[in-house]
Amino acid sequence: MMRAFLVVMDSVGIGGAPDADTFFNGDRPDTGANTVAHIAQACADGRAEDGRSGPLHLPNLVALGLGQAVRLASGDAAPGLEGAARGLWGAATEQSRGKDTPSGHWELAGLPVPWNWHYFPDETPAFPPEVVQKVCDLAGTDGILGNCHASGTAIIDALGDAHIRTGQPICYTSADSVFQIAAHEEHFGLERLLDLCRGLAPMLHEMRVGRVIARPFVGVPGHFTRTANRRDFAITPPRPVLTNWVQDAGRRVIAIGKIGDIFTMQGIDEVRKGPDAVLMQHLHDCVAEAPEGSLTFANFVEFDSLYGHRRNISGYARSLEWFDGEIGKVMRQLRDGDLLCLTADHGNDPSWTGTDHTRERVPVLIAGAGTGQIGVVDFADVAASIATFLKVPPQGPGRTFL
């Protein structure tokens, strides 16, 4: 029996989304954003030399067809990513009206988002009074800090000291449908933060806010750092998704990274968490140990969280090169009959204006299913294809490309 490994390279977009002109970073539309191509161009031009040097070097992803996928999706050149593809490759277009984590992952799992998400306005205060009051009631405080759109690291640096002094949680949002609460693990308490987010989530989910995110941090003023104890409290998908299809067929489903949070553990038997280096070891372990007929569904988030939002081209390039080396080892571990599918959930072009995600197509790179081009497909086709490969009936709108 076959095994499938679905790996989401968070934010590794390849440009070309046909509706990019309707998505914005500030006043600038996302038209022309291209995460991979612009990183490759910066590397080739010597503009990404912090901790690395020279053209972007991704031999394993190139062998799967990344360079061709970039050109197919957008027509853009990606210097250094030329070379013959030995995998099955293509690009995917998202249909959901979002460029965020839940939209991308739900649709990759076979469920285009069936509603419009609620987004908080980019103004201060950003949150309605009844939401602020609910936070205060749950936290036992007389106010909150922030109440605005912000970068997570920047707002902790700016308000962490006041948070420690007052005990008030730091609440902020972004262009995503999200309500984030940052609090110090020692002064506020990690479990107290998780309880606060858990208690607030039902109210926000009724408003169609996709996620309430706990953002714990540690340290002292001037030296605050976020920890790996982030927790997402997401809306439960309203219909069965790929993980349910596979689990309901009696197969094991293993989630690596934030997949368990994104799908509120629907259809998931086991979760393995940690920073990306630890997640990669989990992936190696699953390739070595996962049972026949299983699905391993992984998300590697640090491309997005550490480098895309912070517009750090060198850091993003380093992360891609690290991932490429590790995924090459994973590919060499695969058994006969295994399928590895690499894709992404949206873009986050580190060369772009602003700090938000960018609306892009994403690569679909497959090892274990022959060679050739699948063309431009829908996100939901990924779920249909994985299910078909595992001989599980697809239940969503996607069509298999295998």
CA-to-CA dists, residue 94 to 16, 24, 99, 203, 402, angstroms: 11, 16, 9, 28, 19
Residue found under tokens 């517009």: 311
161 belongs to an annotated ligand binding site? no
Q: Tell which residue, 261, 307, 251, 301, has the closest CA to residue 280.
A: 301
338 belongs to an annotated ligand binding site? no
157 belongs to an annotated ligand binding site? no
Cis? peptide before 79, omega within 30° of 0: no
163 belongs to an annotated ligand binding site? no
Burial of 100 (0-12, 13-18, 19+ CB in 10 A): buried
For residue 220, the 8-state DSSP code is E
For residue 304, the 8-state DSSP code is I
Could you tell me if 288 and 333 are in contact, meaning their C-beta atoms sit under 8 angstroms apart? yes
Distance of CA 111 to the CA centre of its chain: 16
Count helices and strands (H / E) in the chain.
13, 16
CA-to-CA dists, residue 127 to 46, 81, 174, 197, angstroms: 43, 44, 12, 15
Burial of 222 (0-12, 13-18, 19+ CB in 10 A): exposed
Binding residues: 10, 304, 309, 345-346, 357
Binding residues for Mn(2+): 10, 304, 309, 345-346, 357
